[in-house]
Amino acid sequence: SSKKNAADPIALPPGTSSEDFKEYIKKAVEIVGEENVTVINNKDELTKEHYTDPSKAHDMFHVFDKDYFVASAVIAPRKVSEVQAIMKLCNEYGIPVWPFSVGRNVGYGGSAPRVPGSIGLDMGRNMNKVIEVNESGAYALVEPGVTYADLYAYLVEKKLDQKLWIDTPDLGGGSVLGNAIERGVGYTPYGDHFMMHCGMEVVLPSGELLRTGMGAMPDPTQPHVEGGTLDQQPGNKCWQLFNYGFGPYNDGIFTQSNLGVVTKMGIWLMVNPGGYQPYLITFPKDSDLPKVVDIIRELRLAMVLQNVPSIRHVLLDAAVLGTKASYSSSDKPLTDEEIDAIAKKLNLGRWNFYGALYGPKPIQDVMWQVVKQTFGSIEGAKFFLPEDVPDKNAVLHIRAKTLQGIPTFDELKWVDWLPNGAHLFFSPISKISGEDATLQYSITKKRVIEAGFDFIATFTIGMREMHHIVCLVFNRNDAGQKERVHKLIRQLIDDCAAHGWGEYRTHLALMDQIAETYNFNDNAQMKLNEKIKNALDPNGILAPGKNGVWPATYNKQAWRLTAESSLSR
Amino acid sequence: SSKKNAADPIALPPGTSSEDFKEYIKKAVEIVGEENVTVINNKDELTKEHYTDPSKAHDMFHVFDKDYFVASAVIAPRKVSEVQAIMKLCNEYGIPVWPFSVGRNVGYGGSAPRVPGSIGLDMGRNMNKVIEVNESGAYALVEPGVTYADLYAYLVEKKLDQKLWIDTPDLGGGSVLGNAIERGVGYTPYGDHFMMHCGMEVVLPSGELLRTGMGAMPDPTQPHVEGGTLDQQPGNKCWQLFNYGFGPYNDGIFTQSNLGVVTKMGIWLMVNPGGYQPYLITFPKDSDLPKVVDIIRELRLAMVLQNVPSIRHVLLDAAVLGTKASYSSSDKPLTDEEIDAIAKKLNLGRWNFYGALYGPKPIQDVMWQVVKQTFGSIEGAKFFLPEDVPDKNAVLHIRAKTLQGIPTFDELKWVDWLPNGAHLFFSPISKISGEDATLQYSITKKRVIEAGFDFIATFTIGMREMHHIVCLVFNRNDAGQKERVHKLIRQLIDDCAAHGWGEYRTHLALMDQIAETYNFNDNAQMKLNEKIKNALDPNGILAPGKNGVWPATYNKQAWRLTAESSLSR
Ligand SMILES: Cc1cc2nc3c(=O)[nH]c(=O)nc-3n(C[C@H](O)[C@H](O)[C@H](O)COP(=O)(O)OP(=O)(O)OC[C@H]3O[C@@H](n4cnc5c(N)ncnc54)[C@H](O)[C@@H]3O)c2cc1C
Ligand SMILES: Cc1cc2nc3c(=O)[nH]c(=O)nc-3n(C[C@H](O)[C@H](O)[C@H](O)COP(=O)(O)OP(=O)(O)OC[C@H]3O[C@@H](n4cnc5c(N)ncnc54)[C@H](O)[C@@H]3O)c2cc1C
């Protein structure tokens, strides 16, 4: 990297001179106010390292240099018109901009941009209102900064939490909007967040404002906000009720993409089903996995399993309850015997299935009977309701909240399995089949252990597939571990691709590699993505490189990151 | 229109000379074989007029001249590589092409193209295989020509129909693929066909082949078809299991659009829920509608109503059971008294709710208790199970099939309410609210009656909205009626837009008008659609004008159809 002016940020936007950057920042300050522009001048300022108070400028869980994926400045617009103005300004200066909502996308890069020196567009800092919770329509309309915890608190405050449930990921600190457009998952019957979203407001790379679905239809029956800009006007009354509208259905192209900045989103809320019973089933043996998975497939398809349950490897639960050091003095991957001992101590199985029944008692009874009978056919299976588990810290008590959409933060603890804990997520999709799950498990486990780490993972069960979430925990202050975990995840991607398995989401550093595995017919999908990208963003300013999609203004080959890439800028 | 050469079709593609057309056809014959190219030379050949044997070249239920929306030639590719070749040929000659799968899109234009003289691309004639029904994954992979009836027959033949259910529209003759990409609906819990699709194979306007979602990931574990083209290779094993894949989720832009020709599609099948009980509740008074709708909203949101039930106006059922003449000699809209008399005769209410319970008996019992109690609060409500209705032709016996996904053709009969029956569908979206439904009903009914027609309609209940399907039946040999129905539907579109209501789908003639009602922020959505269209289809050959999206190669203003447009070419 070139010589740095004293006033320059750690990383200037690519191809931008110190002067142009200064000028850009001056104009940005005119738009959003001084207090909402932070130039990132100094590596020493990158001190935030924790989910609870996340960095807005760099990847807290970096395997590359700490200041590799770093913003030149973070800009936090106060309203939609300012987002539009910033997009126009970025076009004017050819400066890339990376929007994020809350910055808790940990394991996938946090708030950090793919292109060093991008502007970090902090959508959540000032735009964090629950615009509406509609009781009769059972939906919420939210701004980017609204977290699951915020939305839940809002329902509690309005005394609506007994009527309407939200759906939350394991942790409640993420953005409801940001998570849905990354196609994240939760665990109630509304666990597929993109499926359950309804209607978006989007600022296009050009700065133009769009509403999708029924939002594209003006609604003269809605109150008009005098003197308000268009984004401040209430939407069509069906905007949050019907996703598709008329003509091409565009919402999908604003997910996991770099085609728009989402400024509002509707999300469906689940009506209290009139009864709820969480449970845990433990399975003692490693080799129980295929049996468990095959039963799950049958029950999930038959809608006896009504939600997104999960099968957790015992070490994930163990890590929620303690550090590795609290269980063992080993600095090697734990052996099967050690793992069995931990399971015994925690009164858990090697595999632990957290599920729930939804509905009035008589409905639960029918479901429960089936659940007990089918899973009960597996030798050694044990059934637990929360009242059967005295330890108040036990994971079942956490999941009892999560599976009814009550946000928690407890599971954050597994990140501290190792000292100075950080993590990467490896998230391949698997068929819900005992054979597939076992093969995917054994291949990934083998590599994880070869690399010297413990295998910590969960399978979350979707409609017809599982997101296999492998949590690669490493010590962020240990250069050797960082190197190993980076090599490991690249190896896992290749191993899985060789079996036809692809990841659903990934870290900044791995986007190119994974995108290249989705290469049917000479990368036809990528060519389509690029065509659309170039049509909507001719200057290539919005999140270049996101999920491997590079605008024509970038030399893709030069920007690709591979196993051989330098970890410093 | 200009002078016609003897060998010319009824309508040449716009801007195409007789010579070029001849040359094009010669090359098309070389691609697909003589038997798969039909030039439409003569108005007299446009004789097909019925759903059961639909025209592939014109709109059977035309309000414009019979030969207005007409193809120059119909071409039926035998395989995907031929679709690709035809797309390339169309690009070479700048000839527009309108794909359809089966041609039963009646009420919306059938198989006819928006631009007269387009090539009709008959995707279904030769490409009509059920490629796979996967029992353990509960999905099917189908080609365009597979109808609901075909897919059901396939399941029966393979003895899978007791295990796996399909979801069918009112009629079983449509294309499973074509209906889903038009975002059509059925009535089981899997009634939202786009939501329940999974994975597409698409030929882009350029002729390039694409697989979406997990289909973009090659799968070395799948058997390789020696010597087969890419489209003949089995897809990734998760292609029909997980919709989203990695990066932008593109499937939505291939629905109700002109961005691709879909050659394969996955559709999820519902696993037999272990019990099923259809029912009918009749409500005597016109003014019961708001009460019925408000109850439905509560029960649908609470998942007591597990599927897509419908509230049908009595005249829809009456029309299934007889012609207007069989009830009345009036040639005016039936009066309230006459309608009441018909209801009485048929033992129906003014409004009739067709629902079903899914699941084992004890679950049904719980649901039924709630259904009985809530709807029972409406004075005069009557409950019927199929065994309570001796008339074997009664609509309840038809719906008893439809609501479990068994295709039927019986409801076709309502089209014959008037002699030489034809129809247009008017399909606005409504909030599931008594107030909204009543207002939308009264506004549309008033106009329908003013125009001299009977009000025949149904509300189909989605997750959080209703598709209000108004069936505008007219006598296709009566020029006056055709003129009135055309005026009427344009009026209805405007009336509804004034209330913020938009349509979810429409007839060729009305696409421009409806697209123009979705005009938030100076038509921002349309500008987006056009940008994508021009990027993917620079020559503007694929279905120009579909749902109002015109490529840059067309003069949109000149092509728009409005109330003032001439009904002849
Ligand atoms: C212990 C633990 C458990 C977890 N469990 C889950 C889980 O169960 N399910 C799950 O899904 N995740 C889980 N995660 C991952 C992660 O914490 C969540 O997905 C979280 O919601 C993502 O952070 P965020 O919402 O703050 O994202 P943000 O940083 O706000 O957004 C993430 C990305 O989305 C895009 N984006 C965000 N907002 C916008 C916008 N307005 N416009 C355009 N693009 C935007 C950007 O590319 C951004 O980088 C877990 C993490 C940990 C540590
Ligand atoms: C009595 C009656 C009841 C009905 N009930 C219902 C109902 O309950 N639900 C419902 O949804 N509809 C209903 N319909 C309308 C209609 O019959 C169905 O929607 C039918 O499935 C559409 O016809 P099709 O599948 O043959 O369409 P096609 O003509 O095959 O396709 C329709 C359009 O989709 C696009 N298309 C089709 N195939 C492709 C392709 N391969 N690539 C690109 N674009 C393509 C084209 O624009 C085409 O014009 C009803 C009609 C009648 C008369």
Chain segment B373-388, per-residue pLDDT in tens: 999 999 999 999 999 9
Shortest CA distance from B181: residue in chain A: A248
End-to-end CA distance of chain A: 6
Grade residue B6 by pLDDT with cuts at 50, 70 and 90: confident
A523 has a pLDDT exceeding 60 = yes
Instruction: Tell me how far apart the alpha carbons of residues B356 and B377 are, in angstroms, rounded to a whole number.
Output: 19
Q: Is B174 in the pocket of ligand 2 (CB under 6 A)?
A: yes
Segment B416-436 mean pLDDT: 97
Q: Indicate the burial class of B373 (C-beta count within 10 angstroms; 0-12, 13-18, 19 or more).
A: exposed
Q: How far is A104 from chain B (nearest CA, A)?
A: 19
Nearest to A429 among B242, B297, B363 (CB): B242
End-to-end CA distance of chain B: 6
What percent of chain B has a predicted confidence (pLDDT) above 90?
A: 98
Residue of B39, B32, B49, B65 whose CA lies nearest to B119? B39
Q: Would you say A243 and A194 are in contact if contact means Cβ atoms under 8 Å apart?
A: no
* Residues 390 through 449 of chain A touching chain B, CB cutoff 8 Å: 429-433, 436
**Phi, psi at A273, each rounded to 5°:** -75, 0
Q: Is A511 in the pocket of ligand 1 (CB under 6 A)?
A: no
Would you call A256 and B249 a contact, using CB atoms and an 8 Å cutoff? Answer: yes
Q: Is B460 on the interface with A (CB under 8 A)?
A: no
Instruction: Tell me how far apart the alpha carbons of residues A538 and A548 are, in angstroms, rounded to a whole number.
Output: 17
Q: Which pLDDT does position B256 carry in this prediction? A: 98
Would you call A183 and B548 a contact, using CB atoms and an 8 Å cutoff? Answer: no
Per CB-CB distance under 8 Å, the chain B contacts of A536 are: 528, 531-532
Shortest CA distance from A231: residue in chain B: B521
**Encoding tokens for residue B183?**
């975002």
Q: Which pLDDT does position A334 carry in this prediction? A: 98
Segment B502-509 mean pLDDT: 98
Active site residue A190: no
Segment A156-180 mean pLDDT: 98
Q: Is A215 on the interface with B (CB under 8 A)?
A: yes
Grade residue B397 by pLDDT with cuts at 50, 70 and 90: very high
Instruction: Tell me how far apart the alpha carbons of residues B425 and B404 are, in angstroms, rounded to a whole number.
Output: 24
Residue of A424, A416, A450, A418 whose CA lies nearest to A509? A424
Q: How far is A17 from chain B (nearest CA, A)?
A: 32
pLDDT digits (tens, 9 = 90+) for A191-215: 999 999 999 999 999 999 999 999 9
- Sequence-distant (≥ 6) Cβ neighbours of residue A361 within 8 angstroms: A275
B186 has a pLDDT exceeding 60 = yes
Pick the residue whose CA is nearest to atom 39 on ligand 1. Answer: A100
Catalytic residue (choose from A24, A51, A108, A154): A108
Q: Would you say A97 and A543 are in contact if contact means Cβ atoms under 8 Å apart?
A: yes
Residue of B98, B19, B16, B1 whose CA lies nearest to B58? B98
Q: Is B371 on the interface with A (CB under 8 A)?
A: no
pLDDT digits (tens, 9 = 90+) for B275-332: 999 999 999 999 999 999 999 999 999 999 999 999 999 999 999 999 999 999 999 9
A6 has a pLDDT exceeding 90 = no
Q: Calculate the average pLDDT of chain A.
A: 97
Residue of B472, B420, B467 whose CA lies nearest to B451? B472
Q: Which pLDDT does position A142 carry in this prediction? A: 98
Calculate the alpha carbon distances from A128 to A62, A146, A497 in Å.
27, 5, 39
Q: Is A150 in the pocket of ligand 1 (CB under 6 A)?
A: no
- The C-alpha torsion from B23 through B25 and B27 to B29, rounded to 10°, is -150
How crowded is the C-beta side of A489, counted as CA atoms within 13 Å?
31
Pick the residue whose CA is nearest to atom 45 on ligand 2. Answer: B100
**Encoding tokens for residue B429?**
């979206």
Identify the residue whose tokens are 């103005």: A85
Conformational region of residue A303, where left means phi above 0, alpha means psi within -120 to 50, and beta covers everything else: left
Residue of B1, B19, B262 whose CA lies nearest to B10? B1
**Phi, psi at A271, each rounded to 5°:** -75, 135
Q: Which pLDDT does position A1 carry in this prediction? A: 43
Instruction: Tell me how far apart the alpha carbons of residues A220 and A223 are, in angstroms, rounded to a whole number.
Output: 8
pLDDT digits (tens, 9 = 90+) for A21-59: 999 999 999 999 999 999 999 998 899 999 999 999 999
Among the residues of A347-466, which ranges form H helices? 361-376, 395-402, 434-450
Nearest to B531 among A219, A535, A548 (CB): A535
Helix (H, G, I), strand (E, B) or coil at A84: helix
Cβ burial A276-294 (10 Å sphere, 16+ → b, else e): bbbbbbbbbebebbbbbbb
Q: Which pLDDT does position A3 carry in this prediction? A: 62
Q: Calculate the average pLDDT of chain B.
A: 97
**Encoding tokens for residue A506?**
């990934």
Would you call B520 and A139 a contact, using CB atoms and an 8 Å cutoff? Answer: no
Q: Which pLDDT does position B3 carry in this prediction? A: 62
B1 has a pLDDT exceeding 50 = no
Question: CA B152, B157, B158 angle in degrees (round to 5)?
Answer: 100
Q: Which of A82, A98, A179 to mutate to test the pocket of ligand 1 (most atoms within 8 A of CB)?
A: A179
Instruction: Tell me how far apart the alpha carbons of residues B53 and B66 are, in angstroms, rounded to a whole number.
Output: 17
pLDDT digits (tens, 9 = 90+) for A255-292: 999 999 999 999 999 999 999 999 999 999 999 999 99
Per CB-CB distance under 8 Å, the chain A contacts of B221 are: 499-500
What is the Å distance from ligand 2's center to B58 Cα?
15
Instruction: Tell me how far apart the alpha carbons of residues A150 and A174 are, in angstroms, rounded to a whole number.
Output: 10
**Encoding tokens for residue B407?**
């295709």
One-letter identity of residue A247: G
Helix (H, G, I), strand (E, B) or coil at A165: strand
Pick the residue whose CA is nearest to atom 11 on ligand 1. Answer: A184
**Phi, psi at B77, each rounded to 5°:** -65, 150
Would you call B256 and A273 a contact, using CB atoms and an 8 Å cutoff? Answer: no
DSSP A294-323: HHHHHHHHTTSS-S--EEEEHHHHHHHH--
Would you call B255 and A249 a contact, using CB atoms and an 8 Å cutoff? Answer: yes
Give the number of the atom of ligand 1 that is nearest the alpha carbon of residue A543. 47
pTM of the entire predicted model: 0.98
What is the Å distance from ligand 1's center to B437 Cα?
38
Identify the residue whose tokens are 């969960």: A458
Identify the residue whose tokens are 């938009």: B502
Q: Which helix (H) or strand (E) holds B73?
A: strand B73-75
Instruction: Tell me how far apart the alpha carbons of residues A118 and A569 are, in angstroms, rounded to a whole number.
Output: 14
Q: Which pLDDT does position B539 carry in this prediction? A: 98
- Sequence-distant (≥ 6) Cβ neighbours of residue B330 within 8 angstroms: B324, B338
**Encoding tokens for residue A512?**
């190119």
Would you call A500 and B136 a contact, using CB atoms and an 8 Å cutoff? Answer: no
Grade residue B334 by pLDDT with cuts at 50, 70 and 90: very high
Would you call A429 and B214 a contact, using CB atoms and an 8 Å cutoff? Answer: yes
pLDDT digits (tens, 9 = 90+) for B506-561: 999 999 999 999 999 999 999 999 999 999 999 999 999 999 999 999 999 999 99
Residue of A192, A190, A248, A207 whose CA lies nearest to A87? A207
- Sequence-distant (≥ 6) Cβ neighbours of residue B209 within 8 angstroms: A521, A524, B80, B84, B201, B202, B203, B230, B231, B263
Q: Would you say B468 and B432 are in contact if contact means Cβ atoms under 8 Å apart?
A: no
